[in-house]
Amino acid sequence: MSLRPALLAATCLTLPLLLAQPRDAAAQTVSGPYIGAGAGINLWHDQSNRGLRVHDRDVGVGGVVNLGWGFGNGFRAELEGNYRQSEIETVTAAGAGRIGSSGYIQQYGAMANVLFDFDLSSFGIAPNGMMPYLGGGVGYLWRDISNARLAAGGSSYRVDDTSGAFAYQAIAGISWGLGGMVPGLSFTTEYRYVGALDSSNDIDRTGGAGSPAVPGKLKFGAENHSVLFGLRYVFNAPRPAPAVVEQAPQPPVTARTYLVFFDWDRADLTDRARQIIGEAAAAAPQVQTTRIEVAGHADRSGTPQYNQRLSQRRADAVAAELVRRGIARNLIAVSAYGETRPLVPTADGVREPQNRRVEIVLK
């Protein structure tokens, strides 16, 4: 029996490692009201009194429900209701040996607990993923012994009685955040030691003259070791922030410019001019062009009025060639500037080849 608490504690500490949630689960900071519940196995330690010893079977069951408040600084306070059941394996009496082998011990009570959650952030363990805690509590525990049948010295006895006493407990647990599924929800594993002061249960004689080996009352305390698995829900827990998808920065749009040059006083396209226009038309889809500006220019060898008309004819010729090469006409904006925007500034009347041009700008 002495190995059971150690085995229970080892189970409590190692099993959760197999169930650990990712460390990026939503935060489980306990602040404000919460509810919880758990269930698991319970071991009720053998008890003896006045020569009688009650032996329980190896494993019983237990469960708790609690309502609490987290103060946001690690401390929590809660009220708890609990229930445990164990089956009586044997009852022995000094000098008489085994006198019974049936019955159940049911324990239920109310406790007030204080707990403290440990923030392990300084060790690289996020509290939203895992948070160990310790606590203790005091309260009252009722013990109900039912259907216990005894026989000694030719007499028969029965125990069907309830008694109660002051109780206390120690708690060690770990919570695992499940906020990725439900904000505020966590999975808990706990080891609990629960003890109670002595209380008395009546032993009723049902047949025979009685035996000195069987007293009128069964008086002993309670000692339980439990491993519980449960859920805790914190109300008004902060919801995880929505994931922000960062958009890759878009490269700046860079305009491409092509220059088409003309002979003096001419607006017809040379072979070289058609080659340059073809390069511009081929590049337009690759740079996802949404607008093509075609601007005509002239040198200062004629009158401003004549040069304005000449630059217009040159721009129209380039636009027509772009359309012939597959560019939609509605993408092309045509303008003419005459001699007002020279590439190379000159005096009036000077024939400058670089000023006789059309600029194609892909945007």
Question: Per the structure block, which two tokens stand in for 77?
Answer: 């306070």
Which CATH number is 59's domain given?
2.40.160.20
Calpha distance 135→115 (Å, rounded)? 4
Least confident of 54-68, 122-136, 269-283: 122-136
Q: What CATH number is given to the structural domain containing 330?
A: 3.30.1330.60
Q: Which residue has the higher pLDDT, 9 or 291?
A: 291
Same domain, 112 and 157: yes
Radius of gyration of the chain (CA): 46
Residues 164 and 75 both lie in one domain: yes
State how many domains the chain has.
2
Residue 241 maps to a domain: no
Residue 356 lies in a domain: yes
Residue 162, domain member (yes or no): yes
Residues 229 and 96 in one domain: yes
Residue count of the chain:
363
Lowest average pLDDT, out of 117-126, 153-162, 280-289, 296-305, goes to: 117-126
Contacts of 249 (CB under 8 A, 6+ apart): none
User: What confidence category does residue 18 fall into, taking pLDDT thresholds of 50, 70 and 90?
Assistant: very low
Residues 66 and 178 reside in one and the same domain: yes
Same domain, 220 and 267: no
Integer CA distances (angstroms), 346 to 72, 277, 339, 352, in order: 80, 27, 10, 8
Kindly state whether residues 194 and 82 are assigned to the same domain: yes
Co-location of 172 and 114 in the same domain? yes
d(CA 158, CA 172): 38
Asked whether residue 261 is assigned to any structural domain, the reply reads yes
Residue ranges making up the domain that contains 128 = 4-234
Lowest mean pLDDT among 43-52, 207-216, 228-237: 43-52
252-288 pLDDT tens trace: 556 789 999 999 999 999 999 999 999 999 888 877 7
Same domain, 212 and 282: no
Please indicate, yes or no, whether residues 11 and 94 belong to a single structural domain of this protein. Answer: yes
> How high is the pLDDT of residue 95?
72
Strands of 94-210, DSSP E: 97-100, 104-117, 130-152, 155-177, 185-202, 204-207
Establish if 250 belongs to a structural domain. no
Whether 244 maps to a domain, the answer reads no
Distance in angstroms (rounded) separating the CA atoms of residues 131 and 189: 11
Check whether residue 144 and residue 185 sit in a common domain.
yes
Could you give the percent of the chain with pLDDT greater than 70? 86
